[in-house]
Structure 1
Amino acid sequence: MNSLWWWALPVLMLPILWHRQKREQTRAMPLATARFLPRSEPVQLRVWRWSDLFLLLLRCLLLAALIALLADPVLPWRGHSVLVVPGADPAFVDKQVREAHLTEARRIELPGRDAYRWLHEHEREFEPHARLLLAGDVAMPAVLPHLRHAVIVRSQAASPAPVERHVSVFSRRADAWRKLFDALDGPQRTVFDEQANAKTGLVIWDLPEAPPASLRAPLWWVADATGFPELDKAPQVDGMRYLDSARGRLWRAAWLPPQDAASARTLFASWQRLHLGLRPYTAPAQAPVVDARAPAGPDGGALREALSIALLVLFALERMVTHVRRR
C-alpha cells in the first residue's frame, strides 16, 4: 500500500507554480520631473536570482524525499544467498551449499527458526533471478507460502536446547512431588526452590492454608483448593479448572497429584501444550511454489534511515536559504 504514495509526485508542481506566481511588492513614488517624460504603461520585469532557483530546487527535493520516505522504496541488492537458521550444523550447511552449487553465494544468519516469515518480509531485497537456500532447523509454517523466488529448503532437526525449570513445592508430601519430576527425560532440568523467587516458573500448592499474598508465580498447580475459593466458579476444560489471578495462573484438577503414569503424562502434556508452548515442527526438505504474482512482503525500510537524514538536511537548507533571501 505504501507504493501508492508515488502517485503524489505531481505535488512537485506546487513549488514551481508558487514561484512563478510570486511577485515582488513594489511601491510607486511620483517624481516632480515625471511630467516631462513621455507617458507609458509600467512593465514589470521578473529577474531570477540564483537564490530563487536554488530555493525552488530545495523545495522540490524536499517534497520528493518526503514522498519517497512515505512510499518506503526497497532496492533489490541481494543476489544468490544461503539463509542459515541459528544453531545449524556447519558441516550440514556446507554440504547443502555444495550440492546446490551456491558456494559463491552470500550467507545470511537468520534471527530465528521462522525462516519463511523472515523471507516474506525481506523478499523484495533480493534480485529477481536470485536463488535461495534455506538450511537448518526450519520451522514448518501452517500454510506453505507462495514466494517470488526459487527457494531450496534443506532442513535438519536440531537437538533441543537444555532448559532449566524452577519449581517450588509447598506440600507435606514434597518428596512424592519431586519423584514425579524425576521421571522426566530429555533436555529439561528441574530445579527445586525452597522459597519461590523471580526464577520460579511453577508453584505446587498442596496445603489447606491460603498462600501468602506476596507469593507469585506464572503457573500454580493447586492440589488442595481450600485456600482458593475462587476456583469453585472457575471455567473447566477436560476436567481441569483454570483461572488467571493476581498470584498467577491457577490450575486445579481432581487428578492432582497424579496417582499413576497416565495421569502424570496428561499433566506434563498439558503443561507443555497450554502453558510452555509446543515446539515448532521441522519443515521437510521441499521447494515452495514460485509465483511471480505473489504479493510482496511488508515494508522493508532499507532506505528509511538515509531518506530521513536527507529530509532533515534538505529542510535545514531550505530554511537557511529562505532566511538569507529575505534579508
Structure 2
Amino acid sequence: MAAREAITADPQRSAQDWAELAGHVIEAKDARMWGNEVAQLVRLPPGEAWQALTALARDGDQRAATAALLLASDCQSLGTRAAADATHHTSYVDRLVLGMPAQWSQFIRALDSDVQQRLSDRVADCEGIGGTIDFAMMAIDRFFSADDPQIQIDASLDNPDDTEAIADLRHLTDELHDTRAQRALGARLLRSHDIGERAEGRAILEELARAGDAEAIVFLALDQADPTRPPSDRPVWTDDWITRAAGLGKWQLLDKQIGNLRAENNPVEALAWALYRFQLAQAGCFESGQPQLYFLAQYAKDVFSWQGALNEAQIEAARNGLAAINLQWRAKADAYLGCGG
C-alpha cells in the first residue's frame, strides 16, 4: 500500500489496508517491548487486557504490571481526548485535507472514520479500568523494589539529583559492562548542570554512536538540536548527528532536518527528506498503541504542498535524493523503528 496508485484506486479500501498494516507494525513493536505473551494481551480490548495483565502482575510479572499501569493511564486520557475531538476534530481534518489531491482527501477522511470508530470503541471498553488503587500500589512497589539492574538504570535516569544519579550510573556501568548502562550514563551526564560533565557525556555517547548505537545517535542529535544551550556550552560538532538521527527515522529529528533545509533555502533536499519521512509514515513506522491519523496525513500534506512550489526538474532531483537516502538509511530505519516487515 506504499504506492500512491494503491490509494487513488480505492481510497476506502486503502484506508482499511493501511490501518491493518499499521496494526501489524504496532503488534511487532509491542512484542519487542513486552515479549510475546504480554504483547498478545496488550492487543486485546482494554477490559480483557486489564483482567489478564493484572492477573500476571499479581504473580510477579513486572512487564505485565508496567503494561497494566500504562493501559490504565491510556484509558484515563482517552475520555479527555474523545471530548476534545468531538469539539474540534471536524475542522482539524478539514484543514489537513485542504489542497490535497481528491483521492488522498478521500483516503484521509476514510482513515479518520476508522480511527475515530476505534477510539470510540476503546473509550467504551475502558470503563472501570484503573480504579484498583491497591493493585497500582502493589505494582509500583514491586517495580521499584525489584533487584534488577535495568530498573535501577531507569530510576537513576529519572533521579533529578546530579551527584547521586551519576554516581549510581557510574557504579552500574562498572558492574554491568553493557551498552545500555554506558548509554544511560552518557545521557544522564548530558543533563548535568556541570559543563565538564556534559562534555564527558557527549564523549561517551559519541563513542557509542560511532560504533553504530542508534539511541546514542538520537541523544546526540537532540543535544545538537537544542536551541536553549548557551554559547559557552555549544561544542564544535564534528558529525551531523541530526542528519544521522533523521536517517534512522526519529520523527522529531526528521522534522528538524527538513526545517533546517527549508530555512537554508534548500527546497530540493528538503523535499527529498520529506518524501523519505512520508514513506516511513506510509509504512506505519511512526505508529504506536493504536493506528492514528496525524503522521500520515500531515506528512502527506507537506509533500503535496511543497511539490507544488517546485518545477519538474527540481522534483526529479528530489526523487533522486530520496533514492540516495533510502539506499543509505532505510534498512537502518526499519530496524530502529521496528517497521521493516
Both structures adopt the same fold (TM-score exceeding 0.5): no
- TM-score of the pair, normalised by structure 2: 0.21
Instruction: State which structure, 1 or 2, has the greater radius of gyration over its C-alpha atoms.
Output: 1
- TM-score of the pair, normalised by structure 1: 0.21
